[in-house]
Amino acid sequence: MARPWIEFLYAQQLPWTEGLYGGARDDVQSKTLSIDDSAGDSSVLIKYPAGWQRADAEALTAEEEFYILDGDLEINGQTYTRDCYGCFPAGYMRNQARSKTGCVALTFFDSEPNVSDDLSNTFEEQDLVPFINTLNMKWDASTADPSLEWMGNRRKVLKWDHEYDQKGTFLFATSPHIYPENWACPTLTHPCVEESFILAGELTGPFGKMEKGAYFWRPEEKPHGPFGTREGGFALIRFKYGKHINVWGDKDVPYSFDFPYKPELPPALSAYGDAPYEGTELF
């Protein structure tokens, strides 16, 4: 089993549920954006209530990546606020954790997060990213694929994928007024999963206009695009489970800023695909 194709849903449409699957944090609320029911890896929003704390040392059986959307989270004396990022490998010890004002964190687990019995603080050093305040990073505007130069993409790499030797988790930004030349270009396909959460602005493609809170999980080998944006877009993206190679389609596909919302969703989520989210609250 792998995660189903979700492209795309609005996180705002999903209800908060009590606790977190796996049972490691029964005192938070969570929204599952996508999950592999058999392997246990997932992408979730976690809401920590104001005053939340974990006074005892704790390690998880899963790797936990997190990007703060709102509020504060203090772990091992380091305070993470909006736009801060960390990645703790399985086995990494949290000696203490708390949130003063509450927190919403976009969180990724590489397997079901359970409390570990092993408190020896043994973990894969190369996968540890203790703390990044992404506001302090400079955008990388170099062109990875000349065929995508028209998008003017910029990125901030947060985590390197050592298995596939490529950027694994990164922030992505595109200026306003981006569309393919002559309003058409071929689709792209990769032999890896591509996942994205829109943080601000919008990105528009054949499934509609993705605005703040829009989320997709696109499995390997799914042709996609063209994409563009009238307003400019800012997203967190991950490449997973394969090499990120651009394979271009062989014919031009027309592009429009006006593609209607027409998502690809698994049956369990189809109720969330009737209409885009039109409110203003993310949490």
Nearer Cβ to Fe ion (54/222): 222
CA-based nearest residue to 91, from 66, 67, 72, 114: 114
Q: How far is the CB of 229 from Fe ion (least distance, A)?
A: 15
Name the minimum Å distance from CB 26 to Fe ion: 37
User: 183: closest CA among 122, 225, 120?
Assistant: 225
Q: How far apart are CA 77 and CA 228, in angstroms?
A: 41
Is the CB of 86 or the CB of 205 nearer to Fe ion?
205
Nearer to Fe ion, 45 or 192 (CB): 192
**Locate tokens 């947060």: which residue?**
158
Residues of this chain, 132-151, that bind Fe ion according to CB under 5 A: none
Q: Which residue in the shown chain puts its C-beta closest to Fe ion?
A: 194
d(Cα 82, Cα 80) in Å, to the nearest integer? Answer: 7
DSSP 212: T
Contact in structure between 156 and 171 (CB atoms under 8 Å): yes
Least distance from C-beta 243 to Fe ion, angstroms? 13
Distance of closest approach, residue 110 Cβ to Fe ion, in angstroms? 21
Is the Cβ of residue 20 or residue 171 nearer to Fe ion in the bound state? 171
Q: What track of x and - describes contact with Fe ion for positions 2 through 41 (by CB under 5 A)?
A: ----------------------------------------
Q: Which residues pair with 202 in a beta bridge?
A: 211
Q: Following DSSP, what letter does each residue of 149-199 receive, concatenated?
A: GGG--EEEEEEEETTTTEEEEEEEEE-SSB--GGGEE--EE-SSEEEEEEE
End-to-end CA distance of the chain: 30
Residue 194 or 211: which CB sits closer to Fe ion? 194
Number of residues engaging Fe ion in binding (CB under 5 A): 1
For residue 166, how many C-alpha atoms fall within 13 Å in the half-sphere facing its CB? 14
Token representation of residue 86: 């960390």
Q: How far is the CB of 188 from Fe ion (least distance, A)?
A: 5
What residues contact residue 283 under an 8 Å CB cut-off, 6+ apart?
A: 45, 47, 69, 70, 104
Q: How far is the CB of 198 from Fe ion (least distance, A)?
A: 14
The residue (of 72 and 194) whose beta carbon lies closer to Fe ion is 194
CB of 182 to Fe ion, least distance (A): 21
**C-beta atoms surrounding 121 within 10 Å:** 12
CB of 44 to Fe ion, least distance (A): 23
**Run of H or E including 24:** none
Binding mask 180-219 for Fe ion (x = CB under 5 A): --------------x-------------------------
Judged by the rule CB under 5 A, the positions of this chain that interact with Fe ion are 194
